[in-house]
A and B are shown apart, each in its own frame.
Chain A
Amino acid sequence: MATLTEAPPPLSPTAPTKKPPRKRGRLTPYWLLLPGLLWLVVFFALPMIYQASTSVQTGSLEEGYKVTWHFATYWNALSAYWPQFLRSVLYAGAATILCLALGYPLAYLIAFRAGRWRNLIMILVIAPFFTSFLIRTLAWKTILADGGPVVGALNTLHVLDVTSWLGWTAGDRVLATPLAVVCGLTYNFLPFMILPLYSSLERIDGRLHEAAGDLYARPATVFRKVTFPLSMPGVVSGTLLTFIPASGDYVNAELLGSTDTRMIGNVIQTQFLRVLDYPTAAALSFILMAAILLMVTFYIRRSGTEDLV
């Protein structure tokens, strides 16, 4: 890489005078980085260390905590709360798949079919970012209300019979069931799927589609063999951007779910802010972090886009 830029020979004997700025430039990047990195080290990395130490402490709120390398906290936390862990992965996974299925057509529409409507649709996708997501999540309570139009329609179509049998809903209600939580998660993280999908679809050269068509590929084949593979970077970053925050979320499970739909975020929140059992809470959040990092690394390896990180 360096050899390419070194190619042009100095045009004049005054070339060496360019040296001083370069020398000054050697320290410049460090000065530019210093404040921001200091912030991240003190308020992101250091807290992780504090949390690691908290997770192996024992004691009580009154007498204070001491580091006793009590690793059993991890084991106890995991054996007590594995259902919530499992639920988090299942709900976040379901929401991610739904986001992909719902978001892909919209991203495709904006990238290739929207024409002069493109900007308007883009605004409508982004604008909800600026409206409080809590207010919008609460609106789902109205939409999914018992006896409301959505529940009524699903009931008439006998969808609720099937979902109840699967355990996704309970009787003829949707609120306070897993379906409501997954619906809320899907809704909340959908823009995080659409935007990366759109930016990778937008980069695809439309002539590739024409070429595939000229070679007698049917639209479905064009999609399967050309469009989808080329949009893989968007698919990978979109799924990560939805799965990671969804797995740690506790707002949807709290507002739209019940005690039977608690996710690990709810447990961490309760342990930290209400029970005040700091070691258990710290251990749980460390397990969550490790699980996410493991899954993400594995996923990125499998999907073959390591340059993403």
Chain B
Amino acid sequence: MPLVNRLKRHFVVIAGLLTLGYLLLPNVVVTVFSFNKPKGRFNYEWQQFSTDAWQDPCGVSGLCGSLSLSLQIAVWATLGATLLGTMIAFALVRYRFRARGAVNSLIFLPMAMPEVVMAASLLTLFLNLGAQLGFWTILIAHIMFCLSFVVTAVKARVMSMDPRLEQAAQDLYAGPAQTFLRVTLPIAAPGIAAGALLAFALSFDDFIITNFNAGSTVTFPMFVWGSAQRGTPVQINVIGTAMFLVAVLLVLTSMAVGNRRNKQKA
């Protein structure tokens, strides 16, 4: 039975590719249905090919506004979480101090907590303080839950760094600031970039925590959520497809740049 044998030998490859298919199937559906011309309010059934939505992606009121709001929040949340998280990561890896264990668990806890718990507790805080829910409460929440992920990403990179490189720089009479800017930061940069990228993706895509703390402000995920009840415009699929393509392009270019750098080094 050669076929059975062959299947057996390539079991992992076949099973892995099937999983990859499962993972990408919704993306394919989103892309295909971005070219649909639906009847009625919902875009769940294939009707007719059309490029209308691609020609007019902002044609639905509120969609592009929510998109730009989500982008703004994601950019500020990324900046905030990356700055605060990188500082914490350096402190945790480079220094021995009291309460290091306690700090580590405080960093770990937000990642080990269902989002809905954090969302609800944050809302009780804001309600008790009488805070106006909106842009600022969303931003505060996003920085909070992105922080731990940035710390973890940067920590991993800084931990694998050779401290002798910094000692060497100091032996060559580099001051602390110079050592940090010219040696430490460039080596830690890939970890910081990974953390920032993760923070951006998490913030941009967050629904659960935002839903609790947004008040009447509508971010892009909340727009999608609302449209699931009221009727989904095709433009949502256009944005989803475009986001996927941009993500693939971004990763491809960053890898190309990385490859070129490695070649230059060699």
Q: Which residues of A contact B (CB under 8 A)?
A: 21, 25, 28-30, 32-33, 35-37, 39-41, 43-48, 50-51, 54, 102-103, 105-106, 108-110, 112-113, 119, 121, 123-143, 145, 187, 190-191, 240, 244-245, 247-251, 255, 265, 268-269, 272-273, 278, 281-282, 285-286, 288-289, 292-293, 296, 309
Contacts and interface: CB of A to CB of B under 8 A. Distances in A.
A138 B95 contact: no
B73 interface: no
A278 B16 contact: no
Given A102-B22, A268-B120, A139 B33 contact: yes
Contact of B25 (A41, A123, A143, A255): A143
B144 A134 contact: no
Contacts of B108: 309
A300 to B, nearest CB: 10
A124 B246 contact: no
B128 A50 contact: yes
B56 interface: no
B117 A248 contact: yes
Contacts of A21: 176
B121 A47 contact: yes
Contact of B12 (A105, A135, A138): A105
Nearest to B143: A39
Among B25, B116, B247: residue with most chain A CB under 10 A:
B116
A141 B44 contact: yes
Among A28, A130, A140: residue with most chain B CB under 10 A:
A130
Nearest to B221: A134
Interface string B173-209: 0001000000000000000000000000100110110
Given A106-B20, A187-B23, A39 B120 contact: no
7 contacts: A33-B91, A36-B87, A105-B16, A106-B19, A126-B251, A135-B239, A285-B116
B48 interface: no
Interface of B is mostly: helix
B54 interface: no
Nearest to B242: A131
A51 B88 contact: no
A139 B29 contact: yes
Contacts of A29: 91, 94-95, 97
Among A125, A132, A134, A292: residue with most chain B CB under 10 A:
A132
Contacts of A140: 26
B212 interface: yes
Nearest to B85: A36
Contact of A48 (B19, B22, B121, B207): B121
Interface in B1-59: 11-13, 15-20, 22-27, 29-30, 33, 44-45
Top 5 A-B pairs, shortest CB-CB distance: A248-B114, A109-B16, A130-B247, A105-B15, A36-B84
Contact of A132 (B125, B143, B220): B220
A132 B16 contact: no
B33 A47 contact: no
A305 B97 CA distance: 25
A73 B153 CA distance: 40
B90 A32 contact: yes
A248 B116 contact: yes
A131 B118 contact: no
Contact of A40 (B13, B25, B107, B236): B107
Nearest to A137: B26
B225 to A, nearest CB: 6
B110 interface: yes
Contacts of A139: 25-27, 29-30, 33
B78 interface: no
A138 B110 CA distance: 27
B33 A142 contact: yes
Contacts of A48: 121
A294 to B, nearest CB: 12
Contacts of A132: 205, 220-221, 224, 239-240, 243
B26 to A, nearest CB: 4
A120 to B, nearest CB: 9
A71 B15 CA distance: 50
B161 interface: no
Contact of A46 (B125, B221, B244): B125
Nearest to A102: B19
A244 to B, nearest CB: 6
